Structure 1
Amino acid sequence: MIEIKGIEKAFSGKEVLKGITSSFEKGQTNLIIGGSGTGKSVLLKCMIGLVKPDSGHVLYNGRDFYNSDKDTQQSIRREMGVLFQGGALFDSKTVEENVRFPLDMLTDQSESEKRDRVAFCLQRVGLDAAAKKMPSEISGGMKKRVGIARAIVMNPMYLFCDEPNSGLDPLTSVKIDELIKEITEEYGITTIIITHDMNSVLEIGDNIIFLYQGHKLWEGKSGDITQTNVAELKEFLFSNKLLREMGR
């Protein structure tokens, strides 16, 4: 479980996050949505330690990340898996070398242990046959699956995904959503997803928070979101082509 309490952040005097409080449960896909510039990515960076909030708390199973010693912070970081928006693969490394990278950097596992773990993760995302390929030889959807395999190779307790469907066609997007949902439930991970994809919101949103101008204006489940009375959220939702076509 992850809890955020009163998170505030400003850059050059401009407030980006204004007292964000929420909790994210184990085994659920937790989505953060909102228009561009609403603070979604900054909130994610505050949660994973890339940006320090000006005030507030980020707790991982009760451990206050920013008020812990360096050893505890490092321990929490080792429990995180991150899927970056662009995939962030190393062009000079094969698929299996990309997935293995965190194991080389952060563990003292034996060669056979690393090999077995990488093979398992690639098989789990359906890419065992692509292990020896270079990133330039695989599709965008496959690159995202490599990113997922790398994100879970350390057996994370917490998985963060920044726009996992960015640049993908609708069918591939659905498959990525399904894969993330399956992995979250199968391994009991606390998953947080930054997304603009309304199909993701409607299909895998166990818990959703909506940010607007740095404030959290709404929180709830996908089944309730289209019934909202929050004007800003209604405008965000019904400007979306998918919802218009569904007549919601």
Structure 2
Amino acid sequence: MIDIKHIAKTFGDRQVLAGIDGSFQPGQTSLIIGGSGTGKSVLLKCMIGLIKPDEGEVLYDGRNFLTVNEDDQKVIRREMGVLFQGSALFDSKTVLENVRFPLDMLTDHAENDKLDRARECLQRVGLEEAADRMPSEISGGMKKRVGIARAIVLNPKYLFCDEPNSGLDPLTSIKIDQLIKEITDEYKITTVVITHDMNSMMEIGDKIMFLYEGKKLWEGNSATLTQSNVSELNEFIFASKLIRDMQH
């Protein structure tokens, strides 16, 4: 479980996050939605330690990630899996080497064990046949799946996905959503997804948090998303639906 309490962040004279609270449960796919510049990615970066908020707490099963000592912070980091927006694969490494990378960096497991675990994760995302290919030789959707395999290779308790469907066609987006949802359910991971994809909101939003100009204006789930009386959310949904219809 992840709890965030009163997360605030200002860059210069611009307040990007204005006291955000929320909690994210194991086995649930929680979405953070909102237009560009609303603070979604900054909030994610505050949660995973890439940006230090000006105030607030980020609690991982009761441990405040912002104030624990360096050793405890490393322990929490090892419990995180992150799928970055551009997949962030190493061009010079094969698909299998990319998936194996966190094991090489953060564990002292035997070579065979690392290989077995990396292959197991590739198999889980349906890409075992692509193990020896280079990132330049696979499609955008396959790269995202490799990114997911790498994100789960350390058996994380917490999974963060930053715009997992960016740059993908609608059909591939649905497959990526389903994969994230399945893995969350299967391993009882606490999953947080930053997205503006309408399909994701309607299909995998166990919990949805809507940010607008750095504030949390609404919270609910995919079933209650279209019943809100928050005008900013309704405008955002309408625009997202319009984009989705145009893509189809």
Identity across matched positions, percent: 73
Residue 82 of structure 2: aligned partner: 82
In the TM superposition, residue 13 of structure 1 has moved relative to its aligned partner by 2.2
Taking structure 1 as the reference length, the TM-score comes to 0.97
Alpha carbons 1:29, 1:206 under 8 Å: kept: yes
- Tell me which residue corresponds to 1:169: 169
> Could you list the per-position Cα deviations for residues 43-84 of structure 1 after superposition, in whole angstroms to 9, with x for gaps in the alignment?
000000000000000000000111111111110000000000
Partner residue, 2:125: 125
Q: What pairs up with 1:93-132 in 2 under 5 angstroms?
A: 93-132=93-132
Partners of 2:93 and 2:163 lie apart in 1 by 23
Secondary structure, counterpart of 2:165 in structure 1:
coil
Calculate the aligned-residue CA RMSD, in Å. 1.0
Task: Please report how far the alpha carbon of residue 239 of structure 1 lies from its aligned counterpart in structure 2 after TM superposition.
Answer: 1.9
Cα deviation code 1:102-147 (max 9, x no counterpart): 0000000001110110110000000000000000110000000000
Partners of 1:69 and 1:206 lie apart in 2 by 33
Q: 1:243 to 1:138 in 2, by over 3 A?
A: closer
Kept in 2, the 8 Å contact 1:198–1:242? The answer is no
SS of residue paired to 1:114:
helix
SS for the counterpart of 1:67 is coil
- Name the CA distance, whole Å, in 2 between partners of 1:119 and 1:203: 29
Paired residue type of 1:162: D
- 1:13-162 alignment to 2 at 5 Å? 13-162=13-162
- 1:240 Cα deviation after fit: 2.4
Q: Is the 8 A contact 2:122 2:149 kept in 1?
A: yes
Per-residue deviation at 1:243? 8.8
How many matched pairs?
245
TM-score between both structures, scaled by the size of structure 2: 0.97
Q: How does 1:2-17 map to 2 (within 5 A)?
A: 2-17=2-17
- What amino acid does structure 2 have at the position aligned with 1:76? I
SS of the residue corresponding to residue 224 of structure 2 reads: helix
Is residue 2:184 matched to residue 1:188?
A: no
The verdict on how the C-alpha distance between 1:20 and 1:13 changes in structure 2, with shifts beyond 3 A counting, is same
Q: 1:176 to 1:244 in 2, by over 3 A?
A: closer
Question: Unaligned 5+ residue runs, structure 2?
Answer: none
> Does structure 1 residue 229 correspond to structure 2 residue 229?
yes
Say which SS state the counterpart of residue 136 (structure 1) adopts. Answer: helix
**Compared with structure 1, are the counterparts of its residues 140 and 119 closer, same or farther at alpha carbon in structure 2 (3 Å cutoff)?**
same
Partner of 2:229, secondary structure, is coil
The alpha-carbon deviation at position 244 of structure 1 amounts to 8.6
Aligned partners of 2:17 and 2:69: how far apart in 1? 25
Q: Distance in 2 between matches of 1:27 and 1:244?
A: 27
The CA distance in 2 between the partners of 1:13 and 1:107, in whole Å, is 42
Query: Aligned AA for 1:6?
Result: H
- In the alignment, residue 180 of structure 2 is paired with which amino acid? I
Taking the aligned partners of 2:43 and 2:179, their CA distance within structure 1 comes to 24
Whichever residue aligns with residue 200 of structure 1, its letter is S
Please say if residues 237 and 243 of structure 1, whose CA atoms lie closer than 8 Å, have aligned partners that are also in contact: no
Q: Check 1:163–1:111 CA distance in 2 against 1; reply closer, same or farther (3 A cut).
A: same
